[in-house]
Structures are given as C-alpha cells and as structure tokens.
Chains A and B, each alone.
Chain A
C-alpha cells in the first residue's frame, strides 16, 4: 500500500518537474520576487512593504497557477492516454492513486513555495538588513491554501476536461477570496434571491481569505498560533473532503 502511494507520488513529481510549465513558472517566480526589489525604491518609503507584498502575492499566484495547470490534467490525461489501464489492473485502490497524485503534485508545488520563500526572505533581508521570519507565517498559510487548491484541481481532473477544470478552479479561487464581499454586496441589494445565492456560496465554498494573512504580516500585525491552527484545520478539512470525492469518482469509473 505504502509503496504504491510512494510510486504514484514519485511518478507525478517526476512528470511535473520535467514539465515545461514548472520551469517557466519557476523562472517567472524569480523575476517576480527580484522585480519587487527593483520597483520597491519607486514607492516613496514603502520599499519593505512593496517587496513583501509583491513577493508573497507572487508565491500565492504562481504556485496556484502550477497547481491548476498541472493538477487539472493529472487524472484526465491518465484516462485519455490510457496509461490508467495498466494501473487499474494492479493491486491498487482508488485512494492509493488519488493520494499518490496529491502528494506528488504537492511536492512540486511545495518545492516552488520553498524556493520562492527562500528567495523572498533573502531579498527582504537585503532591503531591511534584518531577518524577518514572520513572513513565513503568511507563506505557511498560503501553502495550506495550495493544499486545498491542489485537492480541488485533482477532483476536477476526475470529472471534467483540463480546460473546464482550470476555469472552474480559477472561479472557485476568486469566489473563495471574495465570498465575504459577495455576501456583503448581496445584503445591500436587498433582493431575497441574490441574498440566498450569496449566502449559499458563502457557506458552501471555503472562504479562502481565512488563509490570507499577508496584509497582517506586512503591517506587522501579529497572527496568533490559535488562528494559524484554525486556518490550517479549515484548509485540511476541505482538502480531505475534495480528495474523498475524487476517490469516489475514480473508484466508480469504467474504462470503455
């Protein structure tokens, strides 16, 4: 069981790091973090904040892009190319496959997060001439958000094409970051229909803003350990739920 999960994870990791998307996003990430260092001086005394803000946003957006671009095709391609035929015939269960894929994809995303976070810490140290490990709190919660989003990408890849999956995951990402605003907006309109839809969206989809502490970190507002625990558990619960649905879909699939 363990070796099968490791085999899937290793294979997914190898496929991802040998993919041009990974290299392109990695290069783009380096450019984004370094550019924050260059544009910082133009911001009239806000260089530190600009560096941290651009750097943290780059980690979140670029790693999300990798999760979506690789994740939404991760199972679909196996079915389309029929590589899954030789896998289903082996003594492996659907959850071995999905969990292995999830771990492999997160190893790729995690590698990128660690690399960009190290770069950001370095650039920040040059700008502030101090080491600010508080940035890592924002990075940590971004990583939990990415866990949730990779599990959603994998779920999408078991039920629809990569393009549709990517569109839906992007929509989910934007709604997830704006769900509180949507609910607030709906109350202002006063229409019961709009209000009901906004309330359903608010409660059904995860509020990804819980995992966004970037502005707090940038403005030196402390983030409590209990909040980190709550946000991490919140992300993990959704992650597990998405993976379980993906397992149900893959286990019921037939290959004509």
Chain B
C-alpha cells in the first residue's frame, strides 16, 4: 500500500462548548501503487477532510495515516507527494513561472532545476504561452492547470487531487482527465476526490464511496459496473411515437436522433426488428444499456437515505423492536 488509513477518525468540536459537532470515520482503506483511486461522495460526506488529513492540513483525532510505510507527517514522505487542493488559490502577485519556481524552492530544488521543471510543466499543462502572465489574470481553468503543475514540481510518486475536475468546462475536463491518465502511464499513483461520476468512471481503477463520514463501499470500477446488459436502446425513424408505443416493445421516447425504444435485455432482437420494419420503421442503431457508476452511486446512496426518509414514529417503533 502506498497510502494507508488505519481506523482514522476526525472529530470536529464546537469551539465554545467543545462538544463534538460531527465526526468523519473511522476510515480504514489503502491505495495500491500505480492505481488511480477515486474517492466519491456527496458534498459534506468528508472527502476533503480525508484528503486534508492525508496531506497534514488536519490531524486525525484517532488512528494512523501512513504513506510509503512511514507516518504521513514525515518530511521525506511529503517530498514524494504532490497535492492540488479544492478551488486552489495562488499568490496573485507572481507570474506562472515565478509561482512554479517558488514551489520548486520549497522542495529544495536549485534555481536552474526549478526553472527547467517549471518550463516543462507549463508546457504539458498547456500554459507555455502564459508563463509570464500574473496569476491574478488567470481564469478558473488556468488556475486548475497551474495548480496541477505545482503538484508535479517534485515529480511525486503519489499525487493527491481534491476535486480536480470541478468547475472546468468540457474541454478543460478532458484535458485534466488526460493529464491524470498520463500520470498513471508514468507509473504514478493518484488519489482523487470528485463528485463528477462520469469522469471517475472513465479514469479510475478503484473507487471508495463515502457517505456521512464513513466508507460504504470500496471496489474496482469494473466490479461495480454491472457488465451484463440491462436492456437495449433501439433507435428508429420513419414511424410515429404512437405506432412505436402500440407495439408494446418497451419504454418509448423521442430524442434528437429519432424514436428510442428501450427493450428488456432478453428481447429477441430479430423479432423486434421484423415487427418494426413491418410498420415501416428504419433501424438507426441498437445499443446495449449497461449500468453506469452514476446508476450504482445513486442506488447505493438511495439505499442509505431510506432510513432518513422514514416516518419518525416508524423509526421509533423499529428501534423499540430491536431493543
């Protein structure tokens, strides 16, 4: 394991009464070398708190976090970690090159080495043209990219990214995904948090799902995604939506491409196609439907939400029964 959380708990207390206000954990999980681990959860679940504990911004109330076999607060551990915080903010008075050289100095890099790496990182993050531009003039997407570049100044073995895709436009998200995948190809380990499930599905090897401060599931993405076909989306044109509905093949809806009929997975496609063609329909496409990470996530979270939605009297009754 590159990064390991062992029964880590963080208790937040009221600054006046010192009574616990909320608790994250206990968290026990680990991140394997060379993988991209996605940390999922709704807002307020505790993703950022977990990451802050991993990089030393918060101290765990209980438990231990180790990285490369040592305590995460060790200086030689920190020199092997790259970190991009959520909504990064950098020194407005510096230019992009100066900023990266500054971070290079914090890693003990000499001026020439820091400058060489800064040039390289500006290049791979698409900011080569903006090296002399002040950070105060940077857009949100550019800030995210310069934040990504500073996280790589030390050529880290483990890169920790807190919501790296948040607030980016589709092009920016694609570029960021590609940069993260490049890290994996170069043998780096990535621990990232996000609530953009489609992106996580595309890039992560494993995911951990966090709900109200506790991990409810850790699995490989392909294990979570049901590979069996859940249904078939048959896109047709040349018939009316009413005619398609009258065939009773499945749920019918109109899209930009035509009329889409969602049939059960065990449908005999030959028979369906023949019936549609008899009505004068032309088949445009037949696509199998698979479960997405979003489907899975919503189902998991939905199950966990159920107890909260119960009638209070019912909850009381059930607790009385269990007693």
Contact = CB atoms under 8 A, between A and B. Distances in A.
Interface of A: 1, 3-4, 6-7, 10-11, 14-15, 18-19, 81-83, 85-93, 254-256
B108 A86 contact: no
A77 B270 CA distance: 68
A17 to B, nearest CB: 9
A88 B55 contact: yes
A45 to B, nearest CB: 48
A19 B102 CA distance: 18
B89 A88 contact: no
Given A7-B104, A14-B93, A254-B57, 14 more contacts: A3-B109, A7-B103, A10-B105, A15-B93, A83-B90, A85-B57, A86-B84, A87-B106, A89-B55, A89-B56, A89-B85, A91-B76, A91-B79, A91-B108
A92 B55 CA distance: 12
14 contacts: A3-B108, A7-B104, A10-B102, A14-B94, A85-B57, A85-B83, A86-B88, A89-B56, A89-B78, A89-B85, A89-B160, A90-B107, A91-B78, A256-B12
A256 B105 contact: no
B262 interface: no
Interface residues of B, number: 36
A226 to B, nearest CB: 40
B73 to A, nearest CB: 10
A92 B59 CA distance: 16
B193 to A, nearest CB: 14
Nearest to B134: A18
Given A7-B102, A91-B76, A254-B57, A86 B110 contact: no
Contacts of A91: 75-76, 78-79, 106-108
B110 A3 contact: yes
B296 interface: no
Given A86-B88, A90-B78, A256-B12, A4 B108 contact: yes
Nearest to B56: A88
A255 B59 CA distance: 9
Interface in B237-289: none
A65 to B, nearest CB: 20
Interface in B62-79: 75-76, 78-79
Contacts of A3: 105-106, 108-110
Contacts of A86: 83-85, 88, 90, 103, 147, 150-151
Nearest to A90: B106
B85 A15 contact: no
B233 interface: no
B57 A7 contact: no
6 closest cross-chain pairs (CB), A and B: A7-B105, A89-B83, A89-B55, A91-B78, A91-B79, A85-B85
Contacts of A1: 108
Interface in B183-200: none
Contacts of A10: 102, 105
B98 A14 contact: yes
Contacts of A14: 93-94, 98
B105 A4 contact: yes
A86 B55 CA distance: 9
Contacts of B75: 91, 93
Contacts of B88: 82, 85-86
B106 A4 contact: yes
A36 to B, nearest CB: 33
A1 B75 CA distance: 11
A9 to B, nearest CB: 10
Nearest to B48: A256
A7 B89 CA distance: 18
A70 B284 CA distance: 68
